[in-house]
Every structure is written in structure tokens, then in C-alpha cells.
């Protein structure tokens, strides 16, 4: 059962990583508010599902909705929240300035949730979402956890298909052009802010979905369950797997969560120093990032650029789409006087690939 829960958790975070990779890997925005979106998604799923609070517990809303509907609503709320932060942070801020602003936003949210109890009951947090649907499905506790793990992996697979389709689409290509050079993207008619904004909201939607699944997974949620630093582990996972490559991102998350976080639990922790193991884990993750950056900065799977597979490139024809390009003036390979340096270089570079 332990390994079921490890794989379920890794699956949940892989969905989060897919969303974060759209924002950071494709669009290039190093966002630090992302874990807050997961937290908000979780909180919303709770307060929409678990019913009225009984004093002294207090939290907002307190509805009794079916959990699937709650997750959908939670995603809507998270996207709305990200819409506000994105509208402020993405307009003119780039690089480290953007990162610091989003970190500020998530820290403010963290402090608010901790200290303003009417929201989500402060430090106590919300709880009571225990295996929703277990009796309806007539499952044992363990059977439910296994079924939930399978559901998470199916959702992950669907999210992967969605993201993969977008990654290869004109949308994905356009986002990457914005990442590579914003000014050039604008010069070719791309609305840089709008492109970043759409990518940000798409990523936030996946974070909201992750939050909903996470709520079911942990069945209780309080501020100690989501310190914003946890996001750095997700970044490490993306870095290891391959930034910009959805398959790599999933692999990286499983490597980091299953390989590092869980396997290092078996490290000996002397009784006098119970925090030795967890601390060593952080060191190992840091070490892994450094080694990856040194020896394989593109990750296990590199970002796959669109490969144009047609074997022989079409010759320029004087008719159709390129009609106006008269072959004589373009100096194709056969025209005397022009072949030479560029062509020779072309052959050299082509050979090395």
C-alpha cells in the first residue's frame, strides 16, 4: 500500500509539473506562485465538499457538492486567482523580477491563510474529505486507494495527451518563440502579453486540478502541507526530465518523487538526529540539479523541436504559392556565380547533425 500511495503522489505532482512546464518550459516564465494554486485548488475542493463547519472550526462556503463538481469549480477559482496575479506580474516583469513578484504573491496568500481563520481555519486547516465515493463504489479502504491511484494515472495520461497535443501545435510553437525572443515575436505580430497570459492560465488550470486530486489524496489540508518551497522540487523534476518535453517532465517527476524522496527514506537516521534523513534528501536533490546542469542541461529527454520529415525538399516551382519567386533571380544551386560559401557551410553542418 505504501508504494501505491507513493506512485499516486508522484502521479498527482506530475500533472502539476506538466502545468508548470507550460509556463516555465515553453513560455519561459519562472513562476514561484504555482504551489499556491495547488493549495487554493485543494482548499476550494474541501470547502465545496465537506459541508458546514462546526464551531469553533470556521471556513468559507461549506457546501456539500459532489467532489467532481467541486474540483471543476476549484479549477475555475484557481484560474480566476491566477488571472489577477498574471495580469499584474506578466505585463512588464521578466526574469527575476517576475519570479520575485510571484513569490511575494504566494507568500502573502500563505500568510493570509495562516492568520485569517474565517478563510480556511488558519493553521488547523480543513479536513473531512475521506475517500469520497467509497461506499457508493462499495470498495474496501485499500481497494479505494488503489482505485484512486489508477484514476490519478488515467488523469495524468489524459493531461499528458492534452499537453502533448498543444506542445506540437502552432500554439506551442508560438509560445516558444516568445520564450526565445520576445521582441522578434512581437515584430512578427505575436501579442507577447496575451501569449504569456494564456499559457499562465492554462498552467494554473492544471495546478487547480492537481489541487483537487491532492485534496482527495491527503484528506486534510493545512498551511504546513504546502510550503511554497516545495515548488522547487517540481522545478528540479522538470530540469531532470527535460524542460519543454512533456514525456521528460513526467519521467522527471517520478524520478524525483519515487527515486529520491521515497528511496531516501531508507537512509539511516540516527535516533539522536531524526532530521538527518530529510536534510540529506534536500542535499541529494541539490546535488542532482548541479550534476544535471553540468552534464546534461537539457534533461533526460531534450525538448523535441518539430521535425520536418519530408525527405526531399520541394523545388521552388514557378507556379503555386511561391509563384512570384522567379527561379532565375533566386540563384538556386545551379546558377553560376553564387554557389560557394553558404552552400559549403550548409553541407558541413548538415553532415554533423
Partner 1 sequence: MLLEIESLTKSFGGVHAVRNCTFAVPEGQVLGLIGPNGAGKSTVVDLVSGFGQPDSGRVRFAGESIVGKRADVISRLGLIRTFQAPREWRNLTVMDNVLLGRRRFADESVWRCLTRARRIRRAEEADRAAVRAILERFQLAELRNELAVRLSGGQKRLLEFARVAAAEARLIILDEPMGGVNPVLGVRIGEAVRQFAAEGRTVIVVEHNLPFIESTCQQVVVMDLGEVIAQGPFSGLRDNPRVVDAYLGMDQSHG
| Residues at the interface with partner 1 (CB under 8 A) | 162, 165-166, 169-174, 176-177, 180-181, 183-192, 198, 202, 303, 305-308, 310, 313-317, 321-322, 324-326, 329-333, 337-338, 340-343, 345-347, 349-350, 353
C-alpha–C-alpha distance, residues 305 and 60, integer Å:
46
- Residues 94/153, Cβ–Cβ less than 8 Å: no
Give 102: exposed, middle or buried? Use CB within 10 Å, 0-12, 13-18, 19+.
buried
Task: Kindly state the smallest distance separating residue 176's Cβ from partner 1, in Å.
Answer: 6
C-alpha–C-alpha distance, residues 204 and 166, integer Å:
15
Task: Kindly state the smallest distance separating residue 73's Cβ from partner 1, in Å.
Answer: 21
**Nearest of 95, 101, 90, 97 to residue 36 by alpha carbon:** 101
Nearer to partner 1, 19 or 132 (CB): 19
74 vs 48, 68, 120, 204, CA distance in Å? Answer: 8, 10, 14, 11
H or E, element range at 107: helix 95-115
Nearer to partner 1, 202 or 260 (CB): 202
Nearer to partner 1, 125 or 208 (CB): 208
C-alpha–C-alpha distance, residues 220 and 172, integer Å:
36
Task: Kindly state the smallest distance separating residue 195's Cβ from partner 1, in Å.
Answer: 8
C-alpha–C-alpha distance, residues 324 and 58, integer Å:
72
Task: Kindly state the smallest distance separating residue 346's Cβ from partner 1, in Å.
Answer: 5
Task: Kindly state the smallest distance separating residue 208's Cβ from partner 1, in Å.
Answer: 16
Task: Kindly state the smallest distance separating residue 299's Cβ from partner 1, in Å.
Answer: 13
Nearer to partner 1, 263 or 343 (CB): 343
Nearer to partner 1, 66 or 306 (CB): 306
Nearer to partner 1, 58 or 303 (CB): 303
Nearer to partner 1, 270 or 350 (CB): 350
Task: Kindly state the smallest distance separating residue 173's Cβ from partner 1, in Å.
Answer: 6
Task: Kindly state the smallest distance separating residue 246's Cβ from partner 1, in Å.
Answer: 14
Q: Looking up cell 529527454, which residue turns up? A: 301
Task: Kindly state the smallest distance separating residue 329's Cβ from partner 1, in Å.
Answer: 5
| DSSP summary character for residue 313 | P
- Residues 120/47, Cβ–Cβ less than 8 Å: yes
C-alpha–C-alpha distance, residues 348 and 230, integer Å:
46
Nearer to partner 1, 114 or 182 (CB): 182
- Residues 264/6, Cβ–Cβ less than 8 Å: no
Q: Looking at 188-271, list the stretches that DSSP marks H as alpha helix, in order from N- to C-terminal side.
A: 192-218, 230-241, 246-254
**Nearest of 134, 36, 147 to residue 85 by alpha carbon:** 36
- SS3 at position 127: strand
Nearer to partner 1, 66 or 297 (CB): 297
Amino acid at each position: 500500500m505504501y508504494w501505491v500511495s507513493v506512485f499516486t503522489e508522484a502521479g498527482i505532482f506530475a500533472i502539476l509539473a506538466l502545468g508548470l512546464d507550460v509556463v516555465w518550459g515553453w513560455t519561459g516564465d519562472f513562476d514561484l506562485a504555482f504551489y499556491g494554486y495547488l493549495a487554493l485548488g485543494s482548499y476550494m475542493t474541501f470547502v465545496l465538499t465537506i459541508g458546514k463547519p462546526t464551531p469553533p472550526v470556521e471556513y468559507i462556503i461549506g457546501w456539500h457538492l459532489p467532489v467532481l463538481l467541486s474540483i471543476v469549480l476549484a479549477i475555475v477559482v484557481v484560474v480566476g486567482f491566477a488571472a489577477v496575479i498574471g495580469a499584474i506580474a506578466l505585463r512588464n516583469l521578466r526574469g527575476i523580477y517576475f519570479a520575485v513578484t510571484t513569490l511575494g504573491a504566494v507568500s502573502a496568500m500563505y500568510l493570509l491563510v495562516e492568520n485569517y481563520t474565517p478563510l480556511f481555519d488558519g493553521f488547523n486547516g480543513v479536513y473531512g474529505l475521506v475517500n469520497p465515493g467509497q461506499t457508493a463504489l462499495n470498495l474496501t479502504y485499500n481497494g479505494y486507494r488503489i482505485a484512486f491511484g489508477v484514476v490519478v494515472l488515467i488523469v495524468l495520461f489524459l493531461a499528458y495527451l492534452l499537453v502533448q497535443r498543444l506542445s506540437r501545435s502552432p500554439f506551442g510553437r508560438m509560445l516558444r518563440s516568445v520564450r526565445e525572443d520576445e521582441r522578434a515575436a512581437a515584430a512578427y505580430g505575436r501579442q507577447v502579453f496575451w501569449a504569456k497570459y494564456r499559457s499562465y492560465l492554462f498552467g494554473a488550470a492544471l495546478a487547480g486540478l492537481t489541487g483537487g486530486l491532492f485534496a482527495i489524496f491527503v484528506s486534510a489540508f493545512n498551511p504546513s502541507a504546502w510550503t511554497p518551497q516545495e515548488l522547487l522540487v517540481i522545478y528540479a523534476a522538470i530540469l531532470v526530465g527535460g524542460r519543454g518535453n512533456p514525456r521528460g517532465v513526467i519521467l522527471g517527476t517520478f524520478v524525483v518523487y519515487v527515486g529520491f524522496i521515497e528511496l531516501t527514506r531508507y537512509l539511516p537516521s540516527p535516533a539522536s538526529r531524526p532530521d538527518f534523513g530529510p536534510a540529506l534528501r534536500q542535499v541529494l536533490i541539490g546535488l542532482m540539479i548541479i550534476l544535471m546542469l553540468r552534464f546534461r542541461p537539457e534533461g533526460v529527454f531534450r525538448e523535441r523541436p518539430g521535425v520536418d520529415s519530408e525527405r526531399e525538399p520541394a523545388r521552388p516551382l514557378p507556379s503555386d504559392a511561391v509563384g512570384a519567386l522567379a527561379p532565375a533571380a533566386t540563384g538556386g544551386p545551379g546558377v553560376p556565380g553564387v554557389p560557394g560559401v553558404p552552400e559549403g557551410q550548409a553541407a558541413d553542418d548538415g553532415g554533423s547533425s
